[in-house]
Amino acid sequence: MDVKLGRIVIYTKKIEQMAEFYAKHFGFSCLRSEGDRIVELRPRAGGSAILLHFASAKQKEGQALVKLVFDVEDVALFCDSANRAGLKFSKVHQADGYVFANAKDPSGNSIQVSSRAFAQR
C-alpha cells in the first residue's frame, strides 16, 4: 500500500494573514468552500496542501514542534528575493552537502528553505 503525506493542518488565529503569506512567498493558491471554516492552500508546484484551521482560545500559536521545510535549489537567491518581498530569513547555514535558512510565518510557526532535496547523496 502506497502512502503519501497529503495535507498539513496549521492552527492559527490569523487565517487571512497566513493565507496571504503562503500564497505570496511560496506560491500556494487558496481554496475556500462556502460553509467550511478551513482554508486550503494548494501548492502550485506539487507537494502537500496546507489546511489553515482557526485555533481555539486555549491553543497557543507557534508552540508546535513542527517545521515546514520548502525545497529550494538556490537558497541564497530565494532568501534575497523573499527579503525584498518582506520575509526575513536567518543567515544561510551550511550543512552536509546542502544549505538552509529559517524564518517564522505570521503565527510564529517555524519554516525553512533547504537545498537538501537537491544534494548529491
- Ordered by start, the domain boundaries in the chain are 1-56, 65-121
> Would you say the pTM of this structure is higher than 0.75?
yes
Domains 1-56 and 65-121 fall in the same CATH topology: yes
In CATH, what number does 65-121 get?
3.10.180.10
Q: Give the long-range contacts of residues 81-89, CB within 8 A, separation 24 or more.
A: 82/25, 82/113, 85/24, 85/25, 87/21, 87/25, 89/113
As assigned by CATH, the class of the 1-56 domain is alpha beta
State pLDDT tens for residues 32-76.
988 888 899 999 888 899 999 988 888 888 777 688 999 999 999
